[in-house]
Structure 1
Amino acid sequence: MFEKITQRLERLHEDERGVSPVVGFVLIFALIMLVFTLYQADVVPAQNAEVEFKHSQEVAGDMEQLSAAVGSTGPDTVPQGVPVQLGVQYPDRALAINPGTPVGTIQTSETRTIEISGEDGSETLNTSFINYRPNYNRLNEETAYSIEHGMLIRDYSGPGDSRLDSSGVLFSGSDRIYLPLVTGDLQASEMSTVITPANVDNHTIDITSGDGELTLPTTLPEAGWDEILTDKSQVDGWMYSNSGSGVNQVTIELKNGTQLAVDKASVGDPDPDDDDLGLDPRITNASPTHPDVGSIQSNTELTAHTTDIFGSDLGDVDVEWSTNGSGGLSTASTTSNGNGNTTVSYNPNAGDIGSTVGVTASLPNVTGENSSVTFGLEYPERYIYRESPESPSVSVDEPETLAVSVQDEGDNPLSKVDVEASEDGAGSLNFTSSSTNESGETSFTYVPEDTDSGSTVTVEISLPNGSENGPVEYNLEFPSDEGPREGEKIDPGEVDGASLNTSAIARSRTHPSFKIGVPNDPDSDSGPNPIEITAFAIETKGALSGVTETERPHSDKTHNFFIYQTGLSKESETPLQLDGTVYNFTSEGAVTDSRVQLERFDSQGGVRLEGAVGSYSEADIVYWFILTDGTIRPVYFDATTGPPGRG
């Protein structure tokens, strides 16, 4: 009834009902693995190679844009960033596996040297190449790029496989060569980067001789330069030199009149030691080295001019100025402008008269020929002349003003010239040194003492630094016994407000006396105490400065009175004031009332007396009374012009 175990085992061994499904599963799995392997081994690399090829084309476009940006960078352009895609972005895959992301490198090369030469010498300039090197997984031919002198060079990684991709701006003009230089430290190896060329310096060199040469380092083969230089109007000839190191040289002979426009752009991190062209400056004169300086009163502008060694204008050059003159410079240091000019002003003084002043413009830290230029400023001799009589009529009672003028040999007045004076009298000078005004004149006033009477005082006036004809002398001969001097007659009349009491008259024919009645203290019964005068003067000033004469001769019906002196502006003398206040006029009593009758002056609108004032500076009319004891007494009045009339 029960089946033996051996029989059951035999039956199971012979049963094949489950074999087909298992075998089918294994075969399908093997097929899938085979297809995946083929996809990973062939399709994925092929697709990635296509991605890398497209990337190489994108990089070519990026490098073309970067080359154009370097070539167009100038002082007036706004820096523009250029993105460069360095890394390859493979597509995402669900099952297949991509290799590691390849990333190229872009960097500046080591410094290369460019040489410009001509009959005046040679100049070297520094530059760098911008090199891009790719790093692909699948592409066998990796194309590298180099930007040099604004040209884009394509390198197919084989010997001699460099080709000109773009000639850039190097020979884009008919009579000009555009030479872009590169400085800075650029080093990038990432998926993408942005490079922004920025101008750091620029200059234009004029080739003015027939033997100018431009020598450039290059990785471009000779055939490439033959393509570039053929039929170029700026080129007289050229020569290619192999160095054996991969960087060769091409020397271009430049035609006379060719301009070489150099612009230097910085990429990456700036190099502080290479932030300009580094040209050797020269300096010469733009204004005459021996200018017409005129007189000592005129400042002289001097202009220097800075150039490169070829004579082309070179701006932004520091210049130091110095002088051996007595005057001064407007500044000790300047910087030349874009045209290469820089100007200072020399401000002379009296010590420069009769000498040649040297003003030197020099280039700091530069030696040799054309490192400085000197201007010679020749100032004429000076002469001093008297402008007052050599022996004027003088009095010990009055200061004497003595004028001089200073001129150059062309009779031009010299201002701001120091003048000195000395005297040998008992009196003194108001000052012993002065300076000439814009008219070349100055004056000194000698104030005599009584002891100068009967003597001759010599006043000597000279220029402290000497003159061609100085010094000049004035001889003041003071009389030993002098009386009042006659002058212009004074006319009588009447002006509002006061009257002059002429009741007491001295009858001396030689020195007619004139008495002013001045009452004593009103409480006294002694009567008037007359003050006796021997002469007087009338001075008009202020509002009446234009009034110079009176209507008719002034007289006491017997004697005429004459002007004694003019300009007696002595504030220290005791004034007789007519304002009703008590003043001590003499040692006897007090003055409480005074009446003075003024002349009537003839002016266009008449003269109106406003009243007495207390000082000379306030007065418009001053009466100077000379008493018989020699004392001078002024009387001050305020007056205005107006309709004529009596008061």
Structure 2
Amino acid sequence: MSFRGDERAQAIQIGAVLLFAVLVIAFSLYQAFIVPTQNEQIEADHLQSVEGDMLDLRNGITTTPRSGDGRSIRVSLGTTYPARVIALNPPPPSGRLYTAGTDSGDVNVTLSNARALDDETRDYWDGTNRTRHSGGVVYAPDYNEFRDPPDLVYDNSVLSRRFADAELWASGQTLIEGRELTLVALDGTYDKRSGHTAAVDLEAISASQTDVAITNVTGENVTVQFASMRSASAWESLLLDEEQFTNQSGYVTSVTGTPIPAAAYELVTLELAQNETYDLRMAKVALGTGATDSETTYVTAVGPKNVSSNETFSAEVRDEFNNPVSGVTVEPQVERGDCDIPPKRTGEQGRVSYECGGPARVSLEIGALDSESATYRVGTFPEDTPPPSIDGPTSFDRSSSVRNFGATDVSQYVFESTVSDDSGSGLDHVSYRLLDDTGDIVTAGTDQLDGEESTDLSWYSPWFENGDLSGNLDDYEMVITVTDNAGGSTTGTIPVAGTLDEEANVAVTIDSTNSPVEEGETLAVDATVENTGDETQTQSIELDVAGLRDSESVTLDPGESQTITLEWQTASGDAGDYTANVSSADSFDTAEVTVSAPIAESVTYVSGSGGTVGGNGNSRITFDLNNGGDRAATITGLTVESVSDPPAGLYINNPGGETFAGGNGEYAARIDLGVDVDLDTNAEIQSGDTVSFELGQFRTGSGNGDRVGMKGKTVTLTLSFEDGSSREYTIDV
């Protein structure tokens, strides 16, 4: 038998080799394509998760100063790949979390042309540029497969995604919201690269406890200038989306930018509308090591500065962020009269209090600057102390002009005079009132005189369009009241092109108000009316709060006084900050009052904060709400109104967990669309805070049902608040 030419054994060997080659190729393809693709998805999921961590860090930075308590935020810097039996993984991906700009003098926030409304606080907030150093935080991922992932950047209250060729906002901003300015400085150094979770500790260096009411210095705009890793055009777009411009519902007039040389920053400048009152809140947060303490900066009066003998008067020492400082020694200086009071250290609230038998003029000081002292008048000096005088030459005239190419007639009123102190105590302030021919106030103002013995006054009203003024424009009057540091005052009235009349007989002083009140409640203003003249007087005392609200006729004998209460019944839509003016024909006094809106109007959805959270097939959504009001907002119930493109039988339930959670509140049962539910535990958002909420899981079917992915969906829900108000919110996921 011959085997020559028999190839059967070779065929088996060749087949085995080919089969092995197929296996090698299959494994190679799996290692080269499948493993990287799976790992890329793991890295993408981690990026979404760490963005949630960075949002928590951003919320922690912006809210920690409210409570004053430290917080620890966990940030997942890296992730891991699943173990593989026959394939190989690259090293686990990591990331770097670090502070940026906190050690650079060029990276800061500057507030310019800001003048405080309070007399004592104005010694410091006097329009001078005030700069505070601040920086940001950056998370930079180092992935193996996910190409060109974005850095996540916290910068001036905002979180954003920074790609190589583009940047996208990942949250809203809290820097400017209507008339509220919130400046939170970030200090310290932190730099960690790891594949594990990092615990990032935040400490409130200067806890935000005080709002300072500010406005612009005459003829200038309040400006907020800050170094940002985003461009001015990006900030302009964000503020437009949040309707913060004056042609929308806000007060921003312009956004401009200037590149900072040799730095990855742009100097962004926000200009705010003139002649508005803004609430300024500032704070400082430390992250990492090397943060510096805040500096003791100024002292201001708390409560009345003119008190009776043996009545308590108080001062508060504040740091550069307007927040109280404890443990500071306050030195009393008795400038006039007799008062034996020792130095004291400020308590936990940064305050000291004194009593004095008086009469006396006392200054409470922490240093030599005007801003480092607060002055008080205790009791009344003897009656023979002469009041200040209004000297000649005194003039009050109306100037006429036209504008808009001659189409509009306009007028401006100009008052000039000289006032002198005759008591030896120095001049304190002068107040102006421009009255129309019916006695209604057209405009008013006050100038501080800072203890001068004599000064020349020049007061200019705004330019008014004649069509906006009532009556005979040449029958208007100027009422001027000058007050010295001994408590004496003199009021004079002068008509247009007329002579000064200093025979003011019925003096008005506001004693108290019940401000703040809510819309629909009655604002009450208590005032004392005194006849300081030599004849019996009958006059109408009027309350003006953005219009005449109440009046009462009084008849007083010489030297007689009477306390009256004038009221304004507020209504829906009256919310706002006002100046209450109580006036007689001869005198007036003002007080700042507030009418609060329903809580729901203060709680807004943070644009761009909608997303999904955790795993669960993207069936659980998250979103942020901000409380821009001056009081806490308590959420008591909710209704999920609708979901875009909903599958049949959609509902929300989270078996074994909370269906709705956030702000220390929760609801743990099923929620059907369109059905009102009361929370098991009410949720709360403190004034000025931003809080994240979660809602889910969205499901269909019976039992626990099937989860529904919510990416790209729009969810509309209504929240109910403790005061009975409610508001509808649209969440873009």
Task: Give TM-score, length-normalised by structure 2.
Answer: 0.42
Task: Give TM-score, length-normalised by structure 1.
Answer: 0.47
**Larger strand proportion, structure 1 or 2?**
2
